Amino acid sequence: MSESLLGMRRVAFRLSPRSYRRLVPKVRLHSRIATAAVEPSTASHDTTYPVNTSSPPSPSSRWTALRSARPFSDFLTDTFNRQHDYLRISVTERCNLRCLYCMPEDGVPLSPPAHLLTTPEIVYLSSLFVSQGVTKIRLTGGEPTVRKDIVPLMRSIGELRRNGLRELCLTTNGISLHRKLEDMVEAGLTGVNLSLDTLDPFQFQIMTRRKGFEAVMKSIERILELNRAGAGIKLKINCVVMRGINDREILPFVELGRDSPIEVRFIEYMPFDGNKWSQGKMVSYQEMLAVIREKYPSLEKVVGHKNDTSKTYRIPGFQGRVGFITSMTHNFCGTCNRLRITSDGNLKVCLFGNTEVSLRDIIRKENDGQPIDETTLKELRLLETAEAAARIQDEGGEVNQRERELLDLIGMAVKRKKAKHAGMGELKNMKNRPMILIGG
């Protein structure tokens, strides 16, 4: 692993103040959404990474900003007052690995291309959610790096920083990441969650049913190299622990953080369609913690953010940290702030829930149900602008019908979100998508 990164500079993007917008008469959403969805990116392609040299806001200016801030969007607030400012978007169903816990052994039927969201549709939805208060977007899959236009897509979403987006992250297996990483950082990438379940090349082939261990390690090294140049990529390694398969590698994974600022997160094995889950294969958070604490008795808990999915620990003298995602034994539903959009355009308000609503169908309604490309989106926008100019103001302002329908549907789905997901016994028998068709 790489040497100490004590000299690493972090990137501080110049972001507009966080703006939470509620759908009310006279609020003009569609012009901003249209601009973000169809304008070409003006992102810099310099090889140096921007560093914000401006002074931090004074306490008085922060207080003024807080007092003048708009309430968080009601559409993204559920009946338990959880505010959903984190959106995960699956950009493809395809993957170049076949991991045991994610992909059924006999594969999955892929959706016809016309059923999947187009790039303009993804950017359009991203902009709509950001206009309502989303500040973090994560692109998932499948494997997002196999999407041919992943970098231009990220560049377009990265432009939403001007509208309040703060983080643009990627969940990846790392196989081809090293070839695209620098362009992604220039496009606005701020964080990478890299899935790696073993440090043994032979075991890697067993768990993923493919080769590629060296490529994954190359991607990790490349992230650390770019961070030494100031890229400021938050790197987390996600490891799904399965009894009898990779549970002996917990301590070697912890050692990754000794000399490198890497957070390794151990994930309890979760049931999804086709992954042959059983409680006997699951290694609980308490078991993993005990193994680590026996070796490192100075292990100490880190106070995290209220919306963190991971219980995080540190070992004095280590640069990195250790976390546990405890969906099965200690759920974190009470502070959940995440929503998911599948690659075929369905909104899921809970990873473990099987209720979905189609955003894609509303987007395409004015196009006879056909996929919307950039040309079509521009034409629809011109038509909407003309209609808005002719509309009488007392009809409810200038938010167009499509956006009203989308926000109403999103709000309805969010309001139906339950207090917590089902328990282990129920989840095992619940019909749900395979993990690869949900988005990690």
Is pTM beyond 0.85? Reply is no
Q: Cα separation of 439 and 171, whole Å? A: 9
What local confidence, expressed as pLDDT, does residue 67 receive? 43
CB half-sphere exposure, 269, CA atoms < 13 A: 24
Per-residue pLDDT band at 12 (split at 50, 70, 90): very low
For residue 23, pLDDT beyond 50: no
Strands, E assignment, 155-274: 167-172, 191-195, 234-241, 263-268
Residue 311 has pLDDT above 50, yes or no: yes
In angstroms, what CA-CA distances link 40 with 68, 103, 136, 206? 32, 36, 21, 43
pLDDT for residue 9 = 31
Using only C-alpha atoms, the chain has a radius of gyration, in whole angstroms, of 22
Q: What is the pLDDT of residues 47-68, one digit of tens each?
A: 555 544 444 455 555 544 544 4
φ/ψ (deg, to 5) at 268: -65, 135
CA angle 292, 306, 196 (to 5 degrees): 45
Share of the chain above pLDDT 90, in %: 58
Q: Residue 291: which pLDDT band, with cuts at 50, 70 and 90?
A: very high
pLDDT band at 252 (very low <50, low <70, confident <90, very high): very high
> What are the beta bridge partners of residue 355?
none
Residue of 271 and 115 predicted with greater confidence = 115
CA 13 centroid distance within chain: 18
Give me the pLDDT at residue 19, please.
36
The mean pLDDT of 351-359, rounded to a whole number, is: 82
- Dist CA 157 CA 135 (whole Å): 12
Q: Given this model, what pLDDT does residue 438 score?
A: 60
Q: Work out the average pLDDT over 229-244.
A: 95
In the structure, what pLDDT confidence band is assigned to residue 239 with cuts at 50, 70 and 90? very high
Band of pLDDT at residue 298, cut at 50, 70 and 90 = very high
Closest CA to 406 of 76, 163, 91, 157: 76
- Whole-angstrom distance, CA of residue 23 vs CA of residue 408: 10
Ranges 14-18, 92-96, 378-382, 405-409, most confident: 405-409
Confidence (pLDDT) at 433:
54
| Helix, strand, coil distribution of the chain in percent, nearest 5 | 40, 15, 50
Q: Please, are residues 155 and 99 in contact by the beta-carbon 8 Å criterion?
A: no
Distance CA 379, CA 165 (A): 26
| Cβ atoms of residues 377 and 37 within 8 Å | yes
Q: How far is CA 116 from the centre of its chain?
A: 18
Q: Mean pLDDT throughout 239-254?
A: 95
Lowest average pLDDT, out of 109-123, 246-260, 261-275, 412-426, goes to: 412-426
> Taking residues 248-269, what's their average pLDDT?
97
The confidence score (pLDDT) of residue 397 equals 53
Question: Quick one: pLDDT at residue 269?
Answer: 86
- Residue of higher predicted confidence among 377 and 180: 180
pLDDT tens by residue, 388-421: 666 545 454 556 888 999 999 999 999 999 887 5
Please report the DSSP string for 256-275 in residue order. Answer: TTSSS--EEEEEE----TTS
Between CA 221 and CA 89 the distance in angstroms is 26
- In this predicted model, which residue has the larger pLDDT, 7 or 154? 154
- Taken in order of first residue, the domains within the chain and their CATH numbers are 31-41+70-198+208-236+340-355+416-437 (3.20.20.70)
Contact call for residues 344 and 116 (beta carbons, < 8 A): yes
Strand 191-195 relative to strand 234-241, pairing: parallel
